[in-house]
Amino acid sequence: MKKLLLTGVFKPYGVSDEYGEALCSMELLHNQVTREQGINSPRSNNLSFGLYLIAENIEVPSTVLDFPSWKDFTNEVDKGQYSHIGISFIVPNILKAKRMARYIRQHRPEVKIILGGHGVAIPDLKNMIDYDEICYGEGVLWLRKYFGENTDKPIIHPAVRTSVRSFVYGAPIMVKAGTILPGVGCQNSCSFCSTSHKFDRKYTAFLNTGREIFDACCKDEEELGVEDFALMDENFCKSDMRARQLLSEMEKEQKAYTFSAFSSAEAVTQMGVDFLVRMGINFLWIGVESKEDIFEKTKGIDLHALIADLQDHGISVLASLILFLEHHDKKNIHEEIDWAISMKSDLVQFMQLGLSPGTRLYKEYDEQGKLMRDFPWQRRHGQDTIWFNHPNFTLPESSEYLINAFKKKYETHGPGILNMAHTAVKGYIAAKKGMEMREAQGLVWNPQALKYTKKSKAEPDQFMKLRLESMRKSAMKFRPALKTMIKYSPNKEAVQKGRMIIELFNKTFGSATIKERVMSLAVSATAILENLRFKKYGVIMRQPPVLRTIYKDRSRQTVPDHADRKLSKLKTIIEPVNVAASVSLTD
Ligand code: SF4
């Protein structure tokens, strides 16, 4: 009988050892966005969403093992229950995947090993890892074909939260979010983009309509108790019709869910800020990439104005910039960094040009002999040194420039979470004012024009009232940490900014309640302890708990309607294992 284990790579993460790198920590923000912000850096580990989606959508009984230790993994293999084991890994985790495959071969030679994830783009993988199959492209379709299952069955969206072990200043982040996986890939096909190339430079939707996304949100709300969602889609705004439908469904059902999303500048511009606010987008990741007008997606767009407009309306922006592009030299790289900082986005990701196997750029650099072919794969993560011959930078220099860019952003604009708190309160003020002004002028939302237009008969905007309340709640998430943000600010400018933001909160929402003051004191206390740990260890790297999720035989599961969701819930057993023992501090 077939039985599948789907596993991520083993812990510890973010630790330099025989198998991994300290600068590849399985944390998105702390690893490459708030990297030099010390105690002000929010921490969390995101789940391996794709594995849950696959397990939910194949008939073969499966188990998902997320964040296993070596012992968790070997114990699972030693049970001897599996006919197939899928290992998902990114390029820098190749040595972990290799060790796992070797263990399976030695101890369970009858098991078929399937490799998946971005790591499978590594050329000549066969000479590095002993495996049976490679899962290319979109995993659900590939595995359905591989196991001879019906490939046309509708996709059932899994209820998966975004992260585990989330905290800031040593205090657990109480507000949780669900993950929505609308689709994979991106048709923009930027030459460096591994996600676009992995999925054949086109977009594949799992959720085709706004209603399907809305239903997935309802399922998460019911099963996980969340109303805030991360839209894990490379370019959510690019599918504009589906986004419009989603807003329309929320309006119809009077549900003001909130979202964070990734979107390219041209797609964001096309949708417009009024639409995005109404839809509940409160965080956008935009690839600004370079000051030079060399990418189609940013051509002709005033990025400074776009980002300011989004922030003024309550949408936090993470702008990502690529360092060590072909044209960079020791003068203009500073201009690039200053340009990115001058956008005043809440957060900036500085990433070295990472030549990822499978991309057009990787092929070009390889053909031109610029690629360092012998450079260790485990060090190719974009947060240490480049791995190609740049005419103007050495490898150690590339590391130094990167660190200094992060430091400069932090010193210029203070902690990222402080900027996000500012954006959230500004957005609430603007939305309230805008709503009152529109009601006075008889303007109503026009879904065709994606703007507010005049209507003969003025109507109260009931949905916007709900939206306003969701924006208030989003802003209030920051309040308990505001005083601590000031205390650990890097300089007097950030302290002044923090004080101004606290005043703005008080003016807008009234003085803090007793409960908020108690929470604020609790964050201050955990921050003192966290700061002591920082001083002692230099780096704090807590390891996430292993999550073991069992998906039983679902061959009779057919339609993703409400009844099936209940069935799916019954069939899914989530076992957090050994949580306490797996939390450890390390350098
Ligand atoms: S727009 Fe973003 S996701 Fe799309 S191809 Fe370009 S970098 Fe990749």
Q: Which amino acid residue places its CA nearest to atom 3 of ligand 1?
A: 234
Within-domain flag for 496: yes
DSSP class of residue 306 equals H
Q: Cβ atoms within 10 A of the Cβ of 57, count?
A: 25
Residue 272 CB neighbour total at 10 angstroms: 15
Contacts of residue 522, defined as CB under 8 A and 6 or more positions apart, other chains included, come to 171, 480
Residue 62 gets which letter from DSSP? E
Q: How many angstroms does the Cα of residue 90 sit away from the middle of ligand 1? A: 18
Question: Which residue ranges have their beta carbon within 6 Å of ligand 1?
Answer: 186, 188-190, 193, 195-196, 234-235, 264, 287, 297
For residue 521, give Cα distances in angstroms to 197, 434, 514, 534, 584.
48, 35, 11, 20, 25
* Structural contact between residues 11 and 543, judged by C-beta atoms closer than 8 angstroms: yes
**Residue 472 maps to a domain:** yes
Indicate the DSSP class of residue 157.
Answer: P
In this structure, how many other beta carbons lie within 10 angstroms of the beta carbon of residue 4? Answer: 24
Question: Cα–Cα distance between 65 and 574 in angstroms, integer?
Answer: 10
What residue's CA is closest to ligand 1, atom 8? 193
Helix, strand counts (H, E) of the chain: 21, 21
Same domain, 363 and 251: yes
- Regarding whether 201 and 143 lie in a shared domain, the answer is no
For tokens 């306003």, name the residue: 468
Q: Are residues 396 and 433 in the same domain?
A: no
Residues 365 and 439 in one domain: no
Residue 162 included in any domain: no
Query: What pLDDT is stored for residue 175 in this prediction?
Result: 74
Where residue 122 falls (left for φ over 0; alpha for ψ -120 to 50; beta otherwise) is: beta
**pLDDT computed for residue 587 by the predictor:** 26
Tens digit of pLDDT at every position of the chain (587 positions): 999 999 999 999 999 999 999 988 889 999 999 999 999 999 999 999 999 999 999 999 999 999 999 999 999 999 999 999 999 999 999 999 999 999 999 999 999 999 999 999 999 999 999 999 999 999 999 999 999 999 999 999 999 999 998 999 999 887 789 999 999 999 999 999 999 999 999 999 999 999 999 999 999 999 999 999 999 999 999 999 999 999 999 999 999 999 999 999 999 999 999 999 999 999 999 999 999 988 999 999 999 999 999 999 999 999 999 999 999 999 999 999 999 999 999 999 999 999 999 999 999 999 999 999 999 999 999 999 999 999 999 999 999 999 999 999 999 999 999 999 999 999 999 999 999 999 999 999 999 999 999 987 778 899 999 999 999 999 999 999 999 999 999 999 999 999 999 999 999 999 999 999 999 999 999 999 999 999 998 888 999 999 999 998 765 444 333 333 443 433 334 433 332 222 223 22
Per-residue confidence (pLDDT) for residue 561, from 0 to 100: 35
> What CATH number is attached to the domain comprising 144?
3.40.50
Look at the block and give the residue holding tokens 């059932």. Answer: 156
Q: Are residues 320 and 340 in the same domain?
A: yes
| Rounded Cα distance, 121 and 116, in Å | 9
Do 170 and 529 form a contact (C-beta atoms < 8 A)?
Answer: yes
Q: Give the residue among 188, 262, 272 at the shortest CA–CA distance from 229.
A: 262
Strands in 426-566 per DSSP E: 443-446, 451-454, 546-551
* Amino acid making up residue 237: C
| Domain co-membership, 527 together with 554 | no
CA distance 380 to 91: 7
- Domain membership flag for residue 508: yes
In a domain, 168, yes or no: no
- Rounded Cα distance between 215 and 250, Å, is 10
Q: Which atom of ligand 1 is nearest to the CA of 297?
A: 1
**What pTM was estimated for this model as a whole?**
0.93
**147 in Cβ contact with 55 (< 8 Å):** no
Let me know whether 372 and 256 are in one domain: yes
In a domain, 555, yes or no: yes
Tell me the CA–centroid distance for residue 208 and ligand 1, in Å.
20
pLDDT at 554: 65
- Local structure of 467: helix, strand or coil: helix
- Residue 112 belongs to some domain of the structure: yes
Kindly report the CATH number assigned to the domain that includes residue 291: 3.80.30.20
User: Which is the closest atom of ligand 1 to the Cα of 234?
Assistant: 3
Cα–Cα nearest to 348, from 272, 264, 419, 428? 419
Q: Structurally, how many domains does the chain consist of?
A: 3
- Residues paired with 4 in a beta bridge: 62, 84
**b/e per residue, 509-542, with b = 16+ CB within 10 A?**
beebeeebeebbeebbebbeebbeebeeeeebbb
Give the pairing of strands 316-323 and 347-352: parallel
Report the chain's C-alpha Rg in angstroms.
Answer: 24
Same domain, 463 and 314: no
Position 376 in a domain: yes
**Residue of minimum CA distance from atom 6 in ligand 1:** 190
CA of 205 to the centre of ligand 1 (A): 16
Residue at which a domain ends, from 414, 446, 468: 414
How far away, in angstroms, is 251 Cα from ligand 1 center? 30
CA 362 – ligand 1 centroid, Å: 15
- 20 and 91 in contact (C-beta within 8 Å)? no
Distance 190 CA to ligand 1 centre (A): 5
Pair 358, 497 in one domain: no
Same domain, yes or no, for 208 and 141? no
Contact between 318 and 380 under an 8 Å Cβ cutoff? The reply is no
Encoding tokens for residue 183? 């689709």
3-class secondary-structure state, position 239: coil
189, 192, 235: residue to mutate for ligand 1 pocket, most atoms within 8 A of CB: 235
3-class secondary-structure state, position 11:
coil
The reported pLDDT for the residue numbered 562 is 36
Q: Which domain holds residue 509?
A: 418-537
Best of 118, 262, 297 for a ligand 1 pocket test (most atoms within 8 Å of beta carbon): 297
Query: How is residue 177 written in tokens?
Result: 């979010």
Q: Dihedral angle at the C-alpha atoms of 84, 89, 93, 96, nearest 10 degrees?
A: -10
Question: Do residues 230 and 280 share a domain?
Answer: yes
So what's the pLDDT on residue 539?
A: 85
Handedness of CA 533, 537, 539, 542 (dihedral sign): negative
Are the CB atoms for 348 and 33 separated by under 8 Å? yes
Cα–ligand 1 centroid distance for 522 (angstroms):
41
Ligand 1 atom at minimal distance to the Cα of residue 192: 7
Would you call 178 helix, strand, or coil by DSSP? strand
509's CB contacts (< 8 A; 6+ apart) are 425, 472, 475, 476, 479
What's the length of the chain? 587
Same domain, 448 and 570: no
Rounded to the nearest angstrom, the distance between the alpha carbon of 264 and the centre of ligand 1 is: 7
pLDDT at 235: 96
Q: Is 375 helix (H, G, I), strand (E, B) or coil?
A: coil
Q: How far apart are CA 42 and CA 34, in angstroms?
A: 8
Q: What is the DSSP letter of 390?
A: B
